[in-house]
Amino acid sequence: MPFVMTTAASRGPMPEELIAAIKTSGRGLILPWAPQVAVLMHPATGWMLSHCGAGGIYEALSQGVPLICWPHVADQQPNASFIVDVVGAGFELLQVRTGPAATRAYRGGPDGTKIVGTDEAVKEEIQTVINACRGGEGAGKREAAKRAQKAIQAYMVPGGPAFDELEGLRHFIV
């Protein structure tokens, strides 16, 4: 799956072996920064891997792009659950969890999903998610992202609820 990876928020340098593997694969582009909304607007963009901060979610869904959710802290986990379980526009990676969240995810059946967290478990889950993105389940999630895009657009246009509220705020302030 072709990808663009930005490193602006990295906590450390990427391993040279990984950089070399990406460059020789011909599938990836590593950049220090990229205009996220412009990338999301491009018709070739199929999915966004996101930590599920509110801004990234809005930017992806406002362009009709579904998400692969990799939450880390704070509100990111409930945001990911909302995208996956309510909006239906994404997959969540579970085997990458660490810390207190690394025991069991309460999804995936009555017993939840056991977090193994090994490199092999992470690799297997990522491959499963990539395959799902390409199949019928992924198509359904792309349709859900397009529905979310239409709802966001309807909300933001002149005469829409968000526009009217901002106009009311402007009149209140001025």
What distances in angstroms separate CA 33 from CA 4, 13, 55, 107, 170, one per listed residue? 10, 14, 16, 34, 34
Q: Are 145 and 65 in contact (CB under 8 A)?
A: yes
- Could you tell me how far CA 26 lies from the centroid of its own chain? 23
Name the DSSP letter for residue 2: -
- Compute the distance between CA of residue 152 and CA of residue 155 in angstroms, rounded to an integer: 5
Tallying the residues shown for the chain, one arrives at 174
Q: Are 28 and 45 in contact (CB under 8 A)?
A: no
Say whether pLDDT at 11 is over 80: no
pLDDT greater at residue 44 or residue 115: 44
Query: Residue 100: what pLDDT?
Result: 66
What distances in angstroms separate CA 74 from CA 7, 16, 77, 80, one per listed residue? 21, 31, 7, 11
| pLDDT over 90 percentage in the chain | 59
Q: Are 63 and 36 in contact (CB under 8 A)?
A: no
Smallest Cα–Cα separation from 141: which of 37, 35, 38, 48?
Answer: 48
Query: Residue 104: what pLDDT?
Result: 67
Q: Are 6 and 33 in contact (CB under 8 A)?
A: yes
Q: Are 153 and 62 in contact (CB under 8 A)?
A: yes
Query: What 3-state class would DSSP assign to 15?
Result: coil
Alpha-carbon dihedral sign for residues 117, 51, 88, 140: negative
List of domains in the chain: 35-173 (3.40.50.2000)
Q: Are 39 and 32 in contact (CB under 8 A)?
A: no
pTM: 0.86
pLDDT in tens, 64-117: 999 999 998 888 989 999 999 999 999 999 998 877 666 667 666 667 788 888
